[in-house]
Chains A and B, each alone.
Chain A
Amino acid sequence: MSTAREVVLRATGLTKRFTTRRNVLGRAVERLTAVEDVSFELRAGKTLALVGESGSGKSTTARLVTALEKPDAGTVEVCGTEWTALGRSALRRERRRMQMVFQDPYASLDPTKMVVHTVGEPLLVHEGVRGQERDRRVADLLERVGLSARHLHRYPYEFSGGQRQRIAIARALAAGPDIIVADEAVSALDVSTQAQVLNLLLDLQRDSGLAFLFISHDLGVVRQVADHVAVMHRGRLVESGPADEIYESPREAYTKSLLAAVPEVSPSRRRERAGLVTESSTGEVVG
């Protein structure tokens, strides 16, 4: 077994409930199960896509995996370390192994910080790098994501959405992670920018063997990047497997209706797909 194929991220039985109503005594009377018994594995250098409609629990899963929320049950194991069992400071040190890129590039960068400080934060926090050494390394990172050293001292408001997402990616890379969790990382971008950012992610994966947990509602996008696909519906994993298998011969009705919702440009492909959809009841189709 080669090391390139080892499991870097393993989620087992993740469950999360949110209290939606409390009685006068503050006791929970109504709960919403956002994620229930979700398990998956991600191998080094591979991309696992978590797909589903909005409200299916994808983003909550991302937050559970990255330890931004505590799961009610289940474990998360990153590179052999069980994150869910770590103490606070140990978890903080481990966090550099898995970094996150968020959906909204307008909200994920601190508006009061220059790019050099935003991207340099992981360097400062994990390695204590500051000053000119920091400037140099941040400039390198910016070049890796297609920006340049001349952007070091700019503020987020001076950048477009696509550029901001590149900054967010540079920040994630700064920690030197094995895994990047991309929560709808390209959904907020326009289509041409989307393609550029996706290509950037793929290039980075090829160059440095990063594993991606790619969360998206957009199966068209997922198709371009994913090795494996896991489909979520109402907080559960309904189907998972190699991407080609899921796209070519989906087993679950929900997966089929999800696939049917992808806009298709080519007329021949449309006809092809028409045959596919007829089996699933139209009432199940989700927008």
Chain B
Amino acid sequence: MTTATAAEPELVSGPTAGPFRRFTRRLVRQPLAFGSLLVIVLLVITALAAPLLAPMDPNATDLVARNQPPGGGHLLGTDDLGRDLLSRLIYGTRITLMAPLIAVGVGALIGVPAGLIAGFWGRTPDWLLSRLADAMLSLPSLVLAMAIVAARGPSTVNAMTAVGLAFSPRIFRVVRGATMSVRHEVFIDASRAIGCTTKRLIAVHVLPNVAAPLIVQATVLLGFGVLAEAGLSFLGVGVQPPEASWGVLLRRGFDNLYMAPFQSIPSGLAITVLILAFQFLGDGMRDSLGKELRRA
């Protein structure tokens, strides 16, 4: 463990401080997690301030200056249509950050309640939801995405909603399994004996106790989301040209790899850093929660 496990008791007086403050205090103390948080905050700022930061119009083509190497007027060079790569990278931050959040958000919105219901009640609801999840897992997610896009038209939101649907059985499984083990804990009976409603039992006692595996799964899926967006955009069902995302840039750079190898490096690095930041932040969040967990 990186930090001392509550060696000195905190003598908090006054009104009850929220558990959230404790959580953030611990999170900030972990260098890797805090660094990742900073990276993500910086990227969010970049996305919001893109028009101010970008040196040029990301969609302005200049067919005379195609595939320019870095340097000169273009810090990261130009692509095969002569567009400024730095500007496209900066504007691309918007979709690249939004896309995995949509996917994981949709996945969690479906997977978490379903997992809680299946895990808590077991029996018939569990059987039904688990079979449904198995069926969804057996569908290739790309095919699912194409079907949704075919029905609703190509757009980033539609494509990522489809990816979220494909994520939901994974989240469901993690939440279901964790819920099943928490459901039989004595403290659940204790709270029921106090007179808690089932709703309160699930929301206040089960959910926080399944948070750790859920957070880890969610951050892994955020990383997958970044890649899924790139893949779907490449197939033309996600981001629509001339809009840019890091995935689009990477794919486009890949096409020109022999002519202009430098093109794929910045976006590739950026994606790597982003995925790593998601992972480290997730681990840090889990550890910040984990301090309260009972040690057997």
| Residues of chain A whose beta carbon lies under 8 Å from any beta carbon of chain B | 63, 66, 68, 92-93, 95-96, 99-100, 102-104, 106-114, 116-117, 121-122, 125-126, 131-132, 134-135, 149-150, 152-158, 168, 171, 175
Contact = CB atoms under 8 A, between A and B. Distances in A.
B138 interface: no
Contacts of B17: 153
Looking at B12, B17, B189, B196, the one whose CB has the most chain A CB atoms below 10 A away is B189
B205 interface: yes
B197 A92 contact: yes
Contact residues on B (Cβ < 8 Å of other chain), bracket: 20 to 34
Given A99-B193, A150-B11, A125 B293 contact: no
B293 A157 contact: yes
B193 A152 contact: no
A92 B193 CA distance: 8
A153 B13 CA distance: 8
Contact of A152 (B6, B16, B192, B292): B16
B294 A156 contact: yes
A178 to B, nearest CB: 14
A54 to B, nearest CB: 17
B35 to A, nearest CB: 26
Given A135-B15, A153-B16, A153-B17, A100 B294 contact: no
Given A108-B189, A153-B12, 8 more contacts: A96-B194, A100-B190, A108-B186, A109-B187, A116-B16, A121-B194, A150-B9, A153-B16
B194 A175 contact: yes
B120 to A, nearest CB: 15
A168 B190 contact: yes
Contacts of B186: 102-104, 107-108
B209 interface: yes
Nearest to A95: B195
B1 to A, nearest CB: 13
Interface string B189-208: 11111111100100001001
Given A107-B186, A112-B209, A153 B193 contact: no
Given A114-B16, A153-B10, A175 B292 contact: no
A110 B193 contact: no
A3 B189 CA distance: 32
Ordered nearest first, which 7 A-B pairs have the shortest CB separation? A95-B195, A107-B186, A112-B208, A111-B294, A153-B12, A100-B193, A108-B186
Contacts of B197: 92
Interface in B12-28: 12-13, 15-17, 19
A155 B289 CA distance: 12
A157 B294 contact: yes
Given A111-B292, A112-B293, A102 B189 contact: yes
B295 interface: yes
18 contacts: A63-B189, A100-B189, A102-B190, A104-B186, A109-B187, A111-B294, A112-B208, A112-B211, A112-B292, A114-B19, A117-B16, A121-B196, A122-B194, A122-B195, A135-B15, A154-B9, A157-B292, A168-B190
